[in-house]
A and B are shown apart, each in its own frame.
Chain A
C-alpha cells in the first residue's frame, strides 16, 4: 500500500498521539480524501515477491500448528452460496458450524467449545440459519446487494440489505460496483458504500471488492481505501464467483491498506479473503500474513475471516493427523 496523505502529519503521528483511543469501535468512516487515494501505489512485482516468500519465512509445527488451525476454524465464515440451497442444507451447515470438528478431536486439543466465525448464506436462507444457530452465538452473514454482480437496481440493492438485516443477519457482505473502480469514479464508489453502510444499521458490513475483476493491484488498493473511508467494517476480496478469487498478493495489498487506514484514523478494519482457500497450510499462511503485516489483533474473528466452504474439512484432517500421527480420511469427519 502507500503512504497516508502527504498533506498532513496526522497519518504517522496518529498512532502515537491517539494510541490510547484505539478501540475496537466500528469504523465510522472518514471524508473521501481523493489526494490520498490518488497517491496510492502498488508495485505488482514487489508485492508478488513478498507474497511468494512469505510461506517460506514462517512455519508453525506440532502443538503450535494445532492451535493455529483451531484459530483458523474460529475465523471461518462457513459458506453456502448455491442456487440449490435449501433449509435442510443450511441446517446441516449450521450444525457443522456449531460442531466444526469431531468432539473427541476438540476435546483432545482442549478447545471443546470451538465454533466457526459465522455462517454465510443468501438472503432467503437467513431465517433457517438464524433458527439453526440460535443460542450458539454464531452470527449469520448474508451476501447482499445483487450478489455476485451487483448490477440490480440500486434502490433494490439497498432494500435487500434492509430486508436481510430485518431477517436477522448480523453481518452483510455487499458487493461494490466494479465499474466505479474501473472508471476511477471514486466519489460514486464512496457514495454507494456509504449508503450500504447506512442501510446496514447495527449489522456489520463487509465490502466485497471482487478483486479478480478490478484489473490491477493499484485499483485494489484504491478501492480498499475508498470503502474504508465510506465506513466498511471489513473489506473482502471476492464473491467466490470470479475466475480469480483470494490470492496472497491481493491480500497483501488490502491489508496494507488496512494498516495505512489505521495509522491515519486509529480505526481497525477487518479483512476477509474469500474463495480458493481450501488447504490447512494456506490457512496458516494467511494467519502468518495477518500477524506479520497487521499484528495479533487481526488473528481474531472480529477482524479476520476466511470465506471458505471446503477449508474446514482439510483442517479437520490435519487436526486428526496431529493427534494420531496418521493421515486422515475425509469420510472420518462429518460433512457440513
Chain B
C-alpha cells in the first residue's frame, strides 16, 4: 500500500521485531542442545525438535534427557550443594544479583526467543514475562542477603528438582530457581518439552555470571525425564508447576519418600463483575485475564460471573472489544493474540469447545493467520454451573460466562469448583470488595484488576490448584526446613490385657462428634491397657462412617473461622482454666497410660496448660502482611485457616501431644478431627469434658478413637477434609500422602520421627504456618 492509501485506511501494517539475534544464538549452539550439567553443556543425546508454533518451523534440536542425564545432573547438584549452602547470604545475594543484571542486559534476546518458542506476543514477553523474571531475581537477591538474619534456625533442603510448564517458560524458571538459590539449595530444572530454549539461554547466563558449577542444572525432555527427576532418590524437594493431573501423580510418586513438595496447578478462576463496577475497565481487565498469553494461564479469569441486571449490556460491549483484538505473528509488536503453544493443545481446545452444546458460542470476528496454531478469542454465554465448560479448565482463549443475582450467590458460584487458584472481582464499593474477597476460596484475589504478579507477593492455590506459595517470605519458606531435633517414634507394644477381676463400674470412653458423645458405628471396641497390661477402660473403633459424621460436624462449624482471634483466645484460655482445675485427674490418667512418674505426669499437664496459653496468645497475633509491591495499592497477605484438619495424635505425651496439635489448629480458626493415640487414647477422650465446659462450639474439635492404619486412608481420601497431619506412631505417612492426591489436600506427616513435645520444638510458628494458608489480596487504589 502507498502512503496515501494507508492515509485513508489507517491500517496498522506490520511491525516485526527482528529475530536475527535469537537465530544467531541458536546457530552458535549449532542448533542442537545437550543438557546443562555441572556448569557446561553436555553433548546432545537423542534429540527432538522444538518448533515455532506460529509457523511450524523447527527452531532447534533439544536433547531428550535420559535417566542417566538426570542422575548426572543430580550428582552435579549434590556436589555443588555443600559449598553453595555454606556461602554467606551476602555471597549468594551477589550471585543472584549478577543473574538479575544479566537477564536485564539480554532482555530483548530472552523476549524474542520466548515468543519464537512459545508463540506468545512479543509485547507480553518483552513487557511482562522478562521484566517479572528480572524482578524475581532482584527480589531474591534481597532475600538471600537477609535470610541468615531473618530466618534463623532453618536449612535449605538440598537438591531441588523443579519442573516448569510451557506457558511462561522463563518466568516460571525464575519463580523456581531464584528462591531455591536464595535459600541455599542447588537445582535440577526440567523445562517443558515445547519450550526449552529460554532455559538453555539461562544456562548460558549462569556461566556468564560465574555461578558455581552444578548450582543450576538444566535437563530437557518430556514427561519421562520429569518422572526420572521426581523419582531420583537423592532429590530432596520437588517443585512443580503444571496440570492438576500431573500434580496428582507427583503427589503419589513422592508419597512417603520424605521429599518436600510444592505444587502450583490448574485453575478455573472466577471473574466477578458487580453491577456498580466500571464496566469498560472490567472488560479491559478480561483482555488481560483470558486473552493474555492466549488464555494459557493457570490463573486466567476464565469463568465470568456477571450480575444479572448488567449481563446483556456487558456481553454486548465485551463482544465489541473482542472484535478489536489482533491475532497473528507473535513477533509483530501490534499483536494481542499469538499462537497456541502446540497443535496438541490447539486440538484440545477445539475438542472442548466443539463438544460443548450449552449456551451460545461467540468467536471474535477477527482475521487469523492461515497457518500456524491459532484459535480465535471466544466467549460462551448462558452457561450454568453444571455446564462442563464451567468446571473444566480449557487452557485457551475461551471465556465462559454465567450470571448471578446477589453477592452471596456470586461467592457460591465462584467457589463451586475443584480449583482455588485465583479470583477477580470488580466493584466500586469498598465494603462489597472487602467482604467478598476473603470469602472466595482461592490463593489470590484481585480487586478491580487481574493477573497482577510480583516477586514480593505470594502466589499459589488452595484445593486442587495445589499448595505452597511462590514469592515473598512465604515463598522462601518453601525452600527451607526448620532445624528441629526429632527422634524415631516407637509404636507402643500393646500389652496383653491381664486377666483380672473386674471392679467398679464399666467405663467405655465415647468418641466426641459435633459437641456430643458418640458411640462407634461399628459397635466394636477394644480395651486400653497400662504398659503393664492393666485394663484402664475401653475405646470404640471408629470406622469410615464415624469419620464421615465427624467431617460433617466439623464443616457445620465452619463459622469458627469467621470468629475473632480475641474470642478464640478467650476459649483457649478457658480450656486451660478448666484443664487446670482437673489437673490431678489428668496427671494420674497419664501415669496410668504411660507408666510415667507422678511428677513427670504432672509436668505434662503443666506443659499442656503452657501450650494452650501459647496458642491463646497467638490467636490474635499471627498477623498477615501488607506487601511492598510496585503498584499504587496494597497486596494484603492474609493468614486464612486451612479448613478442616484431620490429626493423628502421637503415642508419646498422650495429653501434651494432642494439645500441641489441636491448639494451633483451633487458634487459627480451623476445625480439627483428632484421632487419639492408639496406645494411650484416654487422656484425649477425657478432654472432651474440658472442651464441653469451655464454650467451644460443637464440631470445632472432634475426637475419634480407632486404628490409625485403617483411618489414614479414609481420612486422607475424604474429599471434604482440607489437610491431614500425622504424628502417629503408626507407619502411615506414605498412606496419607498417597491418598491425599485425591483432592490434593495439604499433608504434614512425621515420616516416623517426632519432636520432643516438651521442648520448644513442640510449638511455634511452624505449627501456625501449617494451620494457615496465605491468601494474597491485591487492591490497587486511586481516585
Q: Which residues does A use to contact B, with CB under 8 Å?
A: 1-4, 6, 9, 11-12, 15, 41-50, 53, 56-64, 66-68, 70-71, 109-111, 216-218, 256, 259, 287-288, 291-292, 296, 299
User: Is the CB–CB distance between A41 and B278 below 8 Å?
Assistant: yes
B306-330 CB contacts (< 8 Å) to partner A = 309-310, 312-313, 316-317, 324
Contact of A64 among B12, B276, B279, B316 (CB under 8 A): B12
> B1-30 toward A: CB 8 Å interface, digit per residue (1/0)?
111111100111111000000000000000
Q: How far is the CA of A291 from the CA of B276 in the complex (A)?
A: 27
A5 to chain B, nearest CB (A): 10
Tell which of B534-542, B636-644, B647-655, B775-783 binds the partner.
B775-783
User: Is the CB–CB distance between B313 and A43 below 8 Å?
Assistant: no
Contact of B3 among A53, A63, A259 (CB under 8 A): A63
Nearest to B16 among chain A residues (CB) is: A61
A-B contact pairs, 21 of them (CB 8 A): A3-B310, A3-B313, A6-B310, A41-B278, A41-B428, A45-B449, A46-B449, A49-B780, A59-B12, A59-B15, A59-B333, A60-B15, A66-B3, A67-B3, A67-B4, A67-B7, A71-B10, A109-B3, A217-B783, A256-B280, A299-B10
User: Is the CB–CB distance between B309 and A6 below 8 Å?
Assistant: yes
User: Is the CB–CB distance between A45 and B632 below 8 Å?
Assistant: yes
Nearest to B10 among chain A residues (CB) is: A299
User: Is the CB–CB distance between A64 and B6 below 8 Å?
Assistant: yes
Which residues of chain A have C-beta atoms less than 8 A from B336's C-beta? 57
User: Is the CB–CB distance between A49 and B13 below 8 Å?
Assistant: no
Which residues of chain A have C-beta atoms less than 8 A from B333's C-beta? 56, 58-59
User: Is the CB–CB distance between A110 and B13 below 8 Å?
Assistant: no
Nearest to A295 among chain B residues (CB) is: B324
Nearest to A67 among chain B residues (CB) is: B6
Which residues of chain B have C-beta atoms less than 8 A from A111's C-beta? 3-4, 7
Contact of A216 among B15, B312, B780, B783 (CB under 8 A): B783
Count of chain A to chain B residue pairs whose CB atoms are closer than 8 Å in the complex: 122
User: Is the CB–CB distance between A45 and B782 below 8 Å?
Assistant: yes
A73 to chain B, nearest CB (A): 10
Given A59-B15, A59-B333, A111-B7 in contact, is the A44-B783 Cβ separation under 8 Å? yes
Which residues of chain A have C-beta atoms less than 8 A from B284's C-beta? 46, 50
B583-634 CB contacts (< 8 Å) to partner A = 631-633
Seed contacts A64-B15, A259-B280, A291-B10; 18 additional CB < 8 Å A-B pairs: A1-B278, A2-B278, A6-B275, A6-B309, A45-B780, A45-B782, A46-B285, A46-B780, A47-B281, A53-B127, A56-B123, A56-B127, A56-B333, A64-B6, A68-B6, A256-B280, A296-B10, A299-B10
> B139-159 toward A: CB 8 Å interface, digit per residue (1/0)?
000000000000000000000
Given A67-B7, A70-B7, A71-B7 in contact, is the A2-B280 Cβ separation under 8 Å? yes
User: Is the CB–CB distance between A46 and B281 below 8 Å?
Assistant: yes
Most A C-beta atoms less than 10 A away, residue of B6, B12, B123, B276 = B6
Which residues of chain B have C-beta atoms less than 8 A from A291's C-beta? 10
B754-769 CB contacts (< 8 Å) to partner A = none
Which residues of chain B have C-beta atoms less than 8 A from A292's C-beta? 324
Q: How far is the CA of A9 from the CA of B324 in the complex (A)?
A: 24
Nearest to A322 among chain B residues (CB) is: B3
Which residues of chain A have C-beta atoms less than 8 A from B631's C-beta? 45
Q: How far is the CA of A296 from the CA of B312 in the complex (A)?
A: 25
Given A109-B3, A110-B3 in contact, is the A64-B13 Cβ separation under 8 Å? yes
Which residues of chain B have C-beta atoms less than 8 A from A68's C-beta? 6, 10
B702 within 8 A of A: no
A57 to chain B, nearest CB (A): 6
Which residues of chain B have C-beta atoms less than 8 A from A59's C-beta? 12, 15, 333-334
Which residues of chain A have C-beta atoms less than 8 A from B72's C-beta? none
B402 within 8 A of A: no
B437-467 CB contacts (< 8 Å) to partner A = 448-449
Q: How far is the CA of A234 from the CA of B14 in the complex (A)?
A: 32
Q: Which residues does B use to contact A, with CB under 8 Å?
A: 1-7, 10-15, 123, 126-127, 275-282, 284-285, 309-310, 312-313, 316-317, 324, 333-334, 336, 426, 428, 448-449, 631-633, 780-783
Q: How far is the CA of A299 from the CA of B12 in the complex (A)?
A: 13
Nearest 5 CB-CB pairings of A with B: A64-B13, A67-B6, A46-B281, A45-B780, A43-B278
B28 to chain A, nearest CB (A): 28
Q: How far is the CA of A58 from the CA of B285 in the complex (A)?
A: 18
Which residues of chain A have C-beta atoms less than 8 A from B448's C-beta? 43, 45-46
Which residues of chain A have C-beta atoms less than 8 A from B780's C-beta? 45-46, 49
Given A2-B280, A50-B284, A110-B2 in contact, is the A43-B428 Cβ separation under 8 Å? yes
Nearest to A217 among chain B residues (CB) is: B783
Q: How far is the CA of A2 from the CA of B281 in the complex (A)?
A: 9
Q: How far is the CA of A15 from the CA of B316 in the complex (A)?
A: 10
Nearest to B284 among chain A residues (CB) is: A50
User: Is the CB–CB distance between B276 and A58 below 8 Å?
Assistant: no
Q: How far is the CA of A166 from the CA of B532 in the complex (A)?
A: 116
User: Is the CB–CB distance between A44 and B12 below 8 Å?
Assistant: no
User: Is the CB–CB distance between B13 and A63 below 8 Å?
Assistant: yes
User: Is the CB–CB distance between B279 and A58 below 8 Å?
Assistant: no
Which residues of chain B have C-beta atoms less than 8 A from A259's C-beta? 280
Which residues of chain B have C-beta atoms less than 8 A from A45's C-beta? 448-449, 631-633, 780-782
Q: How far is the CA of A41 from the CA of B274 in the complex (A)?
A: 12
User: Is the CB–CB distance between A60 and B310 below 8 Å?
Assistant: no
Which residues of chain A have C-beta atoms less than 8 A from B15's C-beta? 59-61, 64
Nearest to A44 among chain B residues (CB) is: B782
B333 to chain A, nearest CB (A): 4
User: Is the CB–CB distance between A46 and B6 below 8 Å?
Assistant: no
Given A12-B316, A49-B449 in contact, is the A42-B13 Cβ separation under 8 Å? no
Q: How far is the CA of A179 from the CA of B316 in the complex (A)?
A: 36
Q: How far is the CA of A47 from the CA of B313 in the complex (A)?
A: 20
Which residues of chain B have C-beta atoms less than 8 A from A4's C-beta? 313
Q: How far is the CA of A287 from the CA of B279 in the complex (A)?
A: 23
Contact of B334 among A49, A57, A71 (CB under 8 A): A57
Nearest to B287 among chain A residues (CB) is: A50
B780 to chain A, nearest CB (A): 4
Which residues of chain A have C-beta atoms less than 8 A from B310's C-beta? 3, 6
Q: How far is the CA of A49 from the CA of B632 in the complex (A)?
A: 11
Which residues of chain B have C-beta atoms less than 8 A from A12's C-beta? 312-313, 316-317
Q: How far is the CA of A71 from the CA of B781 in the complex (A)?
A: 37
User: Is the CB–CB distance between B313 and A218 below 8 Å?
Assistant: no
Nearest to A62 among chain B residues (CB) is: B13
Given A45-B780, A46-B448 in contact, is the A70-B12 Cβ separation under 8 Å? no
Which residues of chain A have C-beta atoms less than 8 A from B2's C-beta? 63, 110
Nearest to A11 among chain B residues (CB) is: B313
Which residues of chain B have C-beta atoms less than 8 A from A6's C-beta? 275, 309-310
Which residues of chain A have C-beta atoms less than 8 A from B285's C-beta? 46
Contact of B1 among A48, A63, A218 (CB under 8 A): A63
Q: How far is the CA of A218 from the CA of B333 in the complex (A)?
A: 32
Q: How far is the CA of A265 from the CA of B289 in the complex (A)?
A: 31
A25 to chain B, nearest CB (A): 22
User: Is the CB–CB distance between B278 and A63 below 8 Å?
Assistant: no
Q: How far is the CA of A59 from the CA of B333 in the complex (A)?
A: 6
Which residues of chain B have C-beta atoms less than 8 A from A44's C-beta? 782-783
Q: How far is the CA of A53 from the CA of B310 in the complex (A)?
A: 27
Q: How far is the CA of A56 from the CA of B277 in the complex (A)?
A: 26
Which residues of chain B have C-beta atoms less than 8 A from A109's C-beta? 3-4
A115 to chain B, nearest CB (A): 13
Q: How far is the CA of A172 from the CA of B766 in the complex (A)?
A: 71
Most A C-beta atoms less than 10 A away, residue of B14, B277, B279 = B279
Nearest to A218 among chain B residues (CB) is: B783
A132 to chain B, nearest CB (A): 26
Nearest to A252 among chain B residues (CB) is: B280
Q: How far is the CA of A296 from the CA of B11 in the complex (A)?
A: 9
B699 to chain A, nearest CB (A): 41
Nearest to B633 among chain A residues (CB) is: A45
Which residues of chain A have C-beta atoms less than 8 A from B6's C-beta? 63-64, 67-68
Q: How far is the CA of A109 from the CA of B4 in the complex (A)?
A: 7
A120 to chain B, nearest CB (A): 23
A280 to chain B, nearest CB (A): 15
